[in-house]
């Protein structure tokens, strides 16, 4: 929301100066944008916060009187609070207070999870904590789909990721089964057409792919990770050609592919301790890839790739600097060469840019 | 066709009912296990914290859990194993007879009992031809101390021996039923 307003601010000034809108139009647009953000944004965040606070109040009250209650009363209390929160969500939704309604759903999902933990504790169950998390995730997914609640779905994705991590650590191997609930929750995000959710799904899968490098081939499969990331990037670039009507999907998957490649390259450079010549080669590859990503970001209007490129470039340079201090490689020479290459690229980019500008002007006039 | 939205009471009821059923089935499974399961008594050693009942829960150590359980070759971390126990000479002590990947079909005598566990760690056998040894968890290693009763229990324990009463189901599921301090059952609650 905030970024939208900032951008709108800039654009409005530009449009007024270009004479496309009158100052009255500008004021009207600003007024409209202001109203939408203020009322909805603040009310929704307060609703979520109030749900958290009330949840804590109920929990601490119950906790202090918990032991004096017979088990059956405790169970009744848990289920009553579960039903109350879902009832509240219906009450709010029917009055058009969507934010409050989603907060109540999230509260219900939280109480469901709390109930699982409390029942386990009541009966001294210590079998499989990961199983409890999976059951909780299933409840969150159910609420997210049946009540079409994005916050509940986001929570389901977080729980699925926690579950996958716990199982991978417990079994000490790649936990492929993670992909099944991941796909279910991702499908729900897609069905809801909720972009932040899809980003969450992308982030979770990125983590999974990167973890493969540390699990497969006795923990030395980072080359595979790099290859997979490159594959995802290539597929996204091809996808953008073939189906240009889904730009957000392609730019998103391109960026996650880039993150995967970088994670793999960094593991190869700094985790595997390669000999100096291999290390240098990898560093040059990483820098070349990042510059390519910046180019691609500029060319296709993918701001994520642009920023990932800049940030990754800085991190790579810094890491190489730290790694090569005091080694045989002449650090200053490395940076001199890198600097020269980048400045040549910058000159090239400048030329491309001004040519593009001239073409655009020619087309306009 | 139901309308998938929080404005639909039917949709709300579906979520609330299914989640309630999930919780109820959890409780039902435990209650039937505690009610119908075979009772065995096993001596335990509080592992952590040493001063039992000071924290929210204690980790209980069982002789047959720490004992290196010989498991079939090829068993890996996270596998389910069925461990057959037989009572040892001392009361509350159990010896591991064998372990297998499936529930043992034929009985090994009325006094033996089979527990379902999960392999938490496998140490390869040094001697060829010998079965690998594994540490096994049965899901009965935590005892949650009711709030406010810790001090009293602590006083009861002192130097005495602690045992737990376990309920063992027909498929090897096992649950903690009660705590036994110096031959007396303490902190036993109604099943529901």
DSSP-derived secondary structure for A272-316: S---HHHHHHHHHHHHHHHHHHHHHHHHHT-HHHHHHHHHHHHHH
Among A225, A290, A209, A304, which Cα is nearest to A264's?
A225
Q: How confident is the model at residue A215 (pLDDT cuts 50, 70, 90)?
A: confident
Among A99, A94, A95, which Cα is nearest to A49's?
A99
Which A residues, 100 through 129, put their C-beta within 8 Å of a C-beta on chain B?
Answer: 101-102, 105, 108, 112, 115-116, 119-128
Tokens of B66: 């720490």
Closest residue in A to B56 (Cα) is A121
- Which pLDDT score is estimated for A329? 58
Q: Which chain A residues contact residue B191 at CB under 8 A?
A: 71
Q: Which chain A residues contact residue B76 at CB under 8 A?
A: 171, 173
Q: Is the pLDDT of residue B132 over 70?
A: yes
Contact assessment for residue B153 and residue B186, using Cβ atoms and an 8 Å cutoff: yes
| Residue of A63, A71, A75 lying closest to B189 (CB–CB) | A71
Q: Which chain A residues contact residue B16 at CB under 8 A?
A: 82-83, 86-87, 108
| Residue of B6, B141, B176 lying closest to A90 (CB–CB) | B6
> Does A108 contact B23 at a Cβ distance shorter than 8 Å?
no
Tokens of B154: 């602590």
The Cα of B26 is separated from the nearest Cα of chain A by a number of Å equal to 8
* A95-99, A109-113, A188-192, B157-161, range with the lowest pLDDT: B157-161
Closest residue in B to A142 (Cα) is B15
Q: Which is more confidently placed, B43 or A37?
A: B43
- Which pLDDT score is estimated for A1? 46
Q: What residues form DSSP beta bridges with B58?
A: B143
Question: CA B54 to CA B128: how far, in whole Å?
Answer: 45
Question: CA B181 to CA B164: how far, in whole Å?
Answer: 8
Q: Does A241 touch chain B (CB under 8 A)?
A: no
Q: Does B55 touch chain A (CB under 8 A)?
A: no
Q: Which chain A residues contact residue B123 at CB under 8 A?
A: none
Give the neighbor-by-neighbor strand order of the sheet with B94-100. B69-70, B133-137, B113-123, B80-87, B94-100
Q: Which is more confidently placed, A14 or B68?
A: A14
Q: Which chain A residues contact residue B190 at CB under 8 A?
A: 70-72
| Residue of B5, B30, B191 lying closest to A125 (CB–CB) | B30
Q: Residue B12 to residues A83, A134, A322, B15, B165: CA-CA distances in angstroms?
A: 9, 21, 56, 5, 41
Q: Does A343 touch chain B (CB under 8 A)?
A: no
Q: Quote the longest CA-to-CA distance of chain A.
A: 83
Q: Does A94 touch chain B (CB under 8 A)?
A: yes
Q: What residues form DSSP beta bridges with B168?
A: B38, B174
> Does A146 contact B147 at a Cβ distance shorter than 8 Å?
no
Supply φ then ψ for residue A322, to 5 degrees. -60, -40
> Does A66 contact B147 at a Cβ distance shorter than 8 Å?
yes
Q: Which chain B residues contact residue A59 at CB under 8 A?
A: none
Question: CA B185 to CA B188: how far, in whole Å?
Answer: 7
Q: Residue A184 to residues A149, B16, B119: CA-CA distances in angstroms?
A: 15, 21, 29
Question: CA A314 to CA A342: how far, in whole Å?
Answer: 13
Average pLDDT score, chain A? 84
Q: What do you get for the CA distance between the two ends of chain B, in Å?
A: 38
Residue A191: partners with Cβ closer than 8 Å, 6 or more residues away: A145
Tokens 């639909």 locate to: B8
Among B111, B92, B104, which Cα is nearest to B42's?
B92
> Does B20 contact A142 at a Cβ distance shorter than 8 Å?
no
Closest residue in B to A126 (Cα) is B139
A37: left (phi over 0), alpha (psi -120 to 50) or beta: alpha
Domain spans of chain A, in order of start: 226-358
Closest residue in B to A72 (Cα) is B192
Q: Which is more confidently placed, A200 or B103?
A: A200
Which B residues, 82 through 121, put their C-beta within 8 Å of a C-beta on chain A?
Answer: 118
Residue A7: partners with Cβ closer than 8 Å, 6 or more residues away: none
Interface residue of A108, A127, A128 to substitute, partner B, most B CBs within 10 Å: A127
Average pLDDT score, chain B? 81
Tokens 């386990």 locate to: A120
Contact assessment for residue A206 and residue A228, using Cβ atoms and an 8 Å cutoff: no
pLDDT by residue (tens digit) across A235-249? Answer: 998 988 888 888 888
For A296, other C-beta atoms within 10 Å of its C-beta total 21
Q: Which chain B residues contact residue A171 at CB under 8 A?
A: 76-78
> Does B4 contact A119 at a Cβ distance shorter than 8 Å?
no
Query: Residues A327-351: what's their mean pLDDT?
Result: 72
Give the neighbor-by-neighbor strand order of the sheet with B174-181. B142-144, B57-62, B38-48, B162-168, B174-181, B184-186
Query: What is the DSSP code (8-state) at residue B147?
Result: T
Q: Which chain B residues contact residue A101 at CB under 8 A?
A: 6
Give, for B191, the enclosing helix (H) or strand (E).
Answer: none
Which B residues, 123 through 182, put their C-beta within 8 Å of a C-beta on chain A?
Answer: 137, 139-144, 146-149, 175-176
For A242, other C-beta atoms within 10 Å of its C-beta total 9
Q: Which is more confidently placed, B156 or A294?
A: A294
Give, for B47, the enclosing helix (H) or strand (E).
Answer: strand B38-48
Question: CA B166 to CA B138: how far, in whole Å?
Answer: 11
Q: How confident is the model at residue A25 (pLDDT cuts 50, 70, 90)?
A: confident
Q: Is the pLDDT of residue A77 over 80?
A: yes
What's the burial of A256, exposed, middle or buried (CB within 10 Å: 0-12/13-18/19+)? buried
Range ranked top by mean pLDDT from A120-129, A283-292, A330-339, B152-161: A283-292
Q: Does A93 touch chain B (CB under 8 A)?
A: yes
Q: Is the pLDDT of residue A143 over 90?
A: yes
> Does A124 contact B176 at a Cβ distance shorter than 8 Å?
yes
- Which pLDDT score is estimated for A165? 93
Per-residue buried b or exposed e for A158-185, using 16+ beta carbons within 10 Å of the residue's own CB = ebbbebbbbbbebbeeebeebeebbebb
| Residue of A70, A120, A147 lying closest to B15 (CB–CB) | A147
* A233-247, B34-48, B55-69, B172-186, range with the lowest pLDDT: B55-69
Q: Is the pLDDT of residue A41 over 70?
A: no
Q: Is the pLDDT of residue B8 over 50?
A: yes
């Amino acid at each position: 929301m905030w970024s939208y307003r900032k951008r709108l601010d800039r654009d409005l000034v530009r449009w007024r100066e270009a004479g496309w809108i009158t100052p009255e139009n500008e004021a009207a647009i600003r007024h409209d944008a202001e109203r939408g953000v203020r009322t909805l944004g603040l009310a929704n965040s307060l609703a979520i916060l109030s749900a958290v606070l009330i949840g804590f109040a109920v929990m601490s009250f119950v906790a202090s009187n918990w032991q004096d209650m017979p088990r059956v009363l405790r169970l009744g209390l848990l289920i009553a609070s579960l039903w109350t929160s879902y009832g509240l969500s219906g009450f709010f939704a029917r009055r058009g207070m969507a934010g409050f309604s989603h907060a109540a759903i999230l509260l219900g999902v939280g109480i469901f999870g709390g109930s699982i933990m409390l029942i386990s504790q009541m009966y001294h169950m210590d079998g499989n904590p990961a199983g409890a998390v999976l059951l909780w995730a299933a409840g969150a997914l159910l609420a997210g789909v049946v009540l079409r609640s994005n916050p509940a779905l986001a929570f389901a994705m977080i729980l699925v990721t926690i579950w996958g991590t716990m199982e991978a650590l417990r079994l000490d191997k790649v936990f492929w089964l993670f992909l099944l609930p991941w796909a279910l929750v991702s499908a729900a995000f897609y069905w809801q057409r909720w972009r932040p959710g899809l980003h969450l799904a992308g982030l979770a899968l990125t983590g999974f792919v990167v973890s493969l490098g540390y699990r497969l081939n006795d923990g030395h499969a980072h080359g595979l990770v790099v290859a997979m990331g490159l594959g995802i990037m290539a597929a996204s670039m091809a996808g953008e050609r073939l189906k240009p009507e889904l730009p957000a999907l392609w730019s998103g998957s391109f960026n996650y592919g880039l993150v995967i490649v970088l994670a793999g390259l960094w593991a190869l450079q700094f985790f595997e301790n390669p000999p100096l010549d291999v290390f240098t080669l990898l560093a040059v590859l990483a820098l070349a890839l990042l510059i390519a990503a910046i180019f691609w970001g500029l060319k296709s209007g993918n701001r994520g790739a642009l920023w990932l490129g800049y940030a990754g470039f800085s991190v790579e340079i810094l890491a190489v600097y730290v790694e090569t201090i005091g080694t045989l490689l002449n650090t200053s020479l490395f940076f001199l060469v890198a600097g020269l290459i980048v400045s040549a690229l910058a000159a090239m980019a400048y030329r491309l840019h001004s040519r593009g500008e001239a073409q655009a002007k020619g087309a306009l006039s | 066709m139901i309308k998938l939205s929080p404005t639909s009471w039917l949709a709300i009821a579906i979520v609330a009912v299914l989640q309630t059923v999930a919780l109820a089935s959890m409780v039902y499974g435990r209650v039937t296990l505690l009610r119908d399961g075979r009772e065995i008594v096993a001596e335990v050693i509080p592992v952590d914290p040493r001063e039992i009942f000071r924290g929210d829960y204690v980790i209980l150590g069982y002789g047959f859990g720490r004992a290196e359980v010989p498991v079939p070759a090829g068993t890996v971390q996270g596998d389910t194993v069925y461990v057959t126990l037989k009572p040892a000479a001392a009361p509350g002590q159990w010896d591991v007879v064998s372990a297998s990947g499936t529930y043992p079909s034929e009985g090994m005598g009325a006094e033996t009992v089979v527990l379902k566990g999960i392999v938490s760690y496998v140490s390869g056998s040094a001697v060829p031809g010998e079965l690998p040894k594994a540490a096994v968890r049965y899901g009965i290693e935590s005892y949650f101390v009711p709030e406010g009763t810790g001090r009293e229990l602590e006083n009861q324990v002192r130097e005495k021996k602690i045992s737990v009463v376990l309920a063992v189901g027909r498929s090897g599921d096992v649950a903690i039923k009660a705590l036994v301090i110096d031959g007396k059952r303490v902190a036993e609650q109604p099943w529901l």
